[in-house]
A and B are shown apart, each in its own frame.
Chain A
């Protein structure tokens, strides 16, 4: 099988592409819509918004979530905000500026046309959310409030206290709930997609799902399948993702023919609470907005790492971001802030009991603005920090350290968000398209809702219009039987191992390898090591994992085992992709490619492309085939990023 990487970018000037495309795409007559069945997997911002929108348009939408309620999808945990080029503050923002910032922030490794569309659609998102009743922060005059976020030099971020993700998701969930009540969307909750079914022509035909309460497997067919299943940060074991976030749906789609793009582009968020012990189950993010008022520092001398911070005078502190990047200071983009924290900790200047953090200090902000204002801005975050660490950040600096947070890589999609499998679409974090090699703060929510409300529905409809008069493949067709039998075999095989170590043990071991070798900085020797050790660990997992109970009924160990088995394969592809890309860009830092000052050095001549990997067999490093989509820049000129 050979795959096509035609990005299908519409003709015309950048600013007109989306409008032209909306006109060129085919529509489906309202009376015909209910004849089309669409499966949407995932109910986060992208999936919830897409399902609600397509349901309201009249399609027969089947929605799947492994949560008990659609409202619990991990989009809910986003804190900081959502960007939009509204220019309500009249501080020089525009669609073009948001586009430019996003493509530059992504280190010129994303598609111009997709990124521009994202900036364009951002305006509609805010209107939509406000109409739904999302309680964004407001000024006393009653108009919407904005803040500058994540290093942006304009105030374009809309926010709802520290829970923007929850409020946006509730908007999408409520819209979905209305469609469920109306009968246009059918909710399958506690149902996890475990395989994609592809017909003889290579088109998406449906999915196989497992009921997490009864353990039953079931077959579902449709005219089109939309994945909105999030990212793969949990291949690192410790990340800020929710415990159940996983890559199984996307990885299974990859194994059925969907190319996986740029798996090495992962984002390490600079402001998380450092791990306290080895039993730590996940890391907690402290919103990036804290960097607006907090100052990051470490002791200038390693002799001071155990000195209480209050006893370290100013001249023995190193405010290293302010020193190295005077223009942006503490507000440099995430990848740069993270890498610098690692440099400091690696140099032995880490603070805290395990010497694994840097200080984020609010003392000067409290002195300048008063404790009340700081409390108003960050009160809930300070409380959360105190609950977790037992330390009071009003009195002593926070300790922070980077943690895996978001994955820019994902299923390859064209301009229509269609994967290399016709009829299979990927929305939100599970695709690769808009953020290049590094995502800017407050842009994930924007992309999820852009894909879900505004881009997915018309492009999926365009695909469906060509299917008029056809029925979905019946679920008793051999392709469904085979897919279900294969899945049953995989489950039985896992249950039959009856080994000696728990699933968590193997997940933690995998995470250690991925963090050590495919973490904040990567080099050839380490990646070769990862490519040797990951398959060995995977082999051991399949020989020795211990899952108690039965596949019937609730079995959380089995759920995890199926996910970890897929992470074990995906992690190998992450290493392979990272090894292949001998340049530094955004979140991907290859030690072999840096400037004399230690900054990331891109190699546009050789690597200005999307690496789209085609599954070739179980021996991932050898069998997976690389396809390249060249990135063409017509409107912007790639430059070396500088935040000095």
Chain B
């Protein structure tokens, strides 16, 4: 049965990227079958009724797949429930009387736009650097021409499940984006179709990542925070491909010179 929860919220409010921010405290009473974002909607309706500007937060599909939402809840990216994006988190995970601290994802590469909304364009830059397979439209062979071992297809799919929310970066003490980058890279590197550009892709994505993000120290916080439970094994695979790419690319360069 539905229970009502009385909650105290400490929410980060910040006017813009260069403005100072601060926590504001709100109290609310909400049904435990509401989602976390519905709770914020409800608080916002109350703020509007009282002529106070609503809290800005990013969200869209509310089904845990678009990767738009994401806040720090009591210091955890996407909150306390494993494998759950903020929009899929429900209030039954909390108790009557709880105080909940809500902050934006914090990382130098994710500047705050306003309140809880951050700019994650740096992720797009990593994909643009090499996170694709170069095929133009049309002229592709029949889809069943190359059999792909089920294991490879499944592993690629495991990586491809990344929704690009940025929780891995927010959870990392170094604000590293290795989990995101490795998932995007290994999705393609594990497939036969991705081999032609494998070594160039590996270098290009890592180097673009390094322009924005901190270094990975294998804390493993990223994997814990990931709403899609992307394995940190992909980081190891990325590191392997990056090192191997240095040699392979150098050798190829030499071959080209010789040829």
**Beta-carbon contact of B124 and A128 below 8 Å:** no
Give chain A residues whose Cβ lies under 8 Å from the Cβ of B35: 281, 388
B230 to chain A, nearest CB (A): 13
B252 to chain A, nearest CB (A): 21
With contacts A174-B127, A553-B16, A553-B114 taken as known, whether A124 is within 8 angstroms of B138 at the C-beta atoms is yes
Residues of A in contact with B, size category: 35 or more
Give chain A residues whose Cβ lies under 8 Å from the Cβ of B140: 124, 127-128, 130-131
**Beta-carbon contact of A135 and B66 below 8 Å:** no
With contacts A67-B68, A174-B127, A178-B128 taken as known, whether A144 is within 8 angstroms of B121 at the C-beta atoms is no
Closest to A170 in B: B160
Please report the C-alpha to C-alpha distance between residue A187 and residue B156 in the assembled complex, in whole angstroms: 28
**Beta-carbon contact of B143 and A390 below 8 Å:** no
With contacts A135-B191, A142-B149, A143-B147 taken as known, whether A76 is within 8 angstroms of B66 at the C-beta atoms is yes
**Beta-carbon contact of A135 and B68 below 8 Å:** no
Give chain B residues whose Cβ lies under 8 Å from the Cβ of A242: 60-62, 66
Interface string of B51-74 (1 = CB under 8 A from A): 111101011111111111000000
**Beta-carbon contact of B132 and A175 below 8 Å:** yes
Segment of B36-44, B168-176, B216-224 in the binding face: B36-44
Give chain B residues whose Cβ lies under 8 Å from the Cβ of A553: 15-16, 114
B243 to chain A, nearest CB (A): 23
A189 contacts the other chain (Cβ, under 8 Å)? yes
Q: Which residues of chain A from 31 to 70 have any CB-CB distance to chain B below 8 Å in the complex?
A: 49, 52-53, 56-57, 67-70
**Beta-carbon contact of A453 and B137 below 8 Å:** yes
Give chain B residues whose Cβ lies under 8 Å from the Cβ of A549: 53
B84 contacts the other chain (Cβ, under 8 Å)? yes
B142 contacts the other chain (Cβ, under 8 Å)? yes
Segment of A160-168, A308-316, A337-345 in the binding face: A160-168
Q: Which residues of chain A from 273 to 327 have any CB-CB distance to chain B below 8 Å in the complex?
A: 276-277, 279-282, 284-285
**A133: which of B66, B128, B191 is its contact (CB, 8 Å)?**
B191
**Beta-carbon contact of B127 and A173 below 8 Å:** yes
With contacts A242-B61, A243-B59 taken as known, whether A554 is within 8 angstroms of B113 at the C-beta atoms is yes
Please report the C-alpha to C-alpha distance between residue A163 and residue B41 in the assembled complex, in whole angstroms: 27
Please report the C-alpha to C-alpha distance between residue A549 and residue B15 in the assembled complex, in whole angstroms: 11
Residues of B in contact with A, size category: 35 or more
A548 contacts the other chain (Cβ, under 8 Å)? yes
Give chain B residues whose Cβ lies under 8 Å from the Cβ of A522: none
Give chain B residues whose Cβ lies under 8 Å from the Cβ of A177: 124, 127-128, 131-132
**A74: which of B66, B88, B114, B141 is its contact (CB, 8 Å)?**
B66
B45 contacts the other chain (Cβ, under 8 Å)? yes
Q: Which residues of chain A from 97 to 144 have any CB-CB distance to chain B below 8 Å in the complex?
A: 124, 126-133, 135-144
B253 contacts the other chain (Cβ, under 8 Å)? no
B203 contacts the other chain (Cβ, under 8 Å)? no
**Beta-carbon contact of B41 and A281 below 8 Å:** yes
Please report the C-alpha to C-alpha distance between residue A180 and residue B59 in the assembled complex, in whole angstroms: 25
Closest to A388 in B: B90
**A390: which of B15, B61, B90, B160 is its contact (CB, 8 Å)?**
B90
How many A-B contacts if CB must be within 8 Å?
217
B75 contacts the other chain (Cβ, under 8 Å)? no
With contacts A384-B88, A390-B33 taken as known, whether A243 is within 8 angstroms of B153 at the C-beta atoms is no
Q: Which residues of chain B from 129 to 183 have any CB-CB distance to chain A below 8 Å in the complex?
A: 129, 131-138, 140-144, 146-150, 153, 156-157, 160-161, 163-164
Q: Binding site of B, secondary structure by majority: helix, strand, loop or mixed?
A: loop
Interface string of B13-31 (1 = CB under 8 A from A): 0011000000000000001
Give chain B residues whose Cβ lies under 8 Å from the Cβ of A554: 56, 113-114, 117
A71 contacts the other chain (Cβ, under 8 Å)? yes
**Beta-carbon contact of B90 and A133 below 8 Å:** no
A1 to chain B, nearest CB (A): 36
Give chain A residues whose Cβ lies under 8 Å from the Cβ of B148: 138, 142
**B38: which of A88, A138, A281, A383 is its contact (CB, 8 Å)?**
A281
B48 contacts the other chain (Cβ, under 8 Å)? yes
Give chain B residues whose Cβ lies under 8 Å from the Cβ of A469: none
A425 contacts the other chain (Cβ, under 8 Å)? no
B231 contacts the other chain (Cβ, under 8 Å)? no
**B143: which of A67, A126, A187 is its contact (CB, 8 Å)?**
A126
A248 to chain B, nearest CB (A): 15
Give chain B residues whose Cβ lies under 8 Å from the Cβ of A74: 60-61, 66
With contacts A132-B133, A137-B153, A178-B128 taken as known, whether A282 is within 8 angstroms of B147 at the C-beta atoms is no
With contacts A388-B88, A548-B51 taken as known, whether A133 is within 8 angstroms of B62 at the C-beta atoms is no
23 A-B residue pairs with CB within 8 Å: A56-B136, A67-B60, A68-B119, A68-B120, A70-B124, A77-B66, A124-B138, A132-B135, A136-B143, A136-B153, A165-B65, A177-B132, A178-B134, A213-B113, A243-B59, A243-B62, A276-B31, A277-B33, A284-B62, A502-B45, A504-B41, A546-B48, A548-B52
Report which A residues bind B (CB closer than 8 A): 49, 52-53, 56-57, 67-72, 74, 76-77, 86, 88, 124, 126-133, 135-144, 160-161, 163, 165-167, 170, 173-175, 177-178, 180-181, 187, 189, 213, 242-244, 276-277, 279-282, 284-285, 353, 383-384, 387-390, 453-454, 457, 502, 504-505, 546, 548-549, 553-554, 556-557
Report which B residues bind A (CB closer than 8 A): 1-2, 15-16, 31, 33-35, 37-38, 41-42, 45, 48-49, 51-54, 56, 58-68, 81, 83-84, 88-90, 92, 113-114, 117, 119-121, 123-124, 127-129, 131-138, 140-144, 146-150, 153, 156-157, 160-161, 163-164, 187-188, 191, 193-194
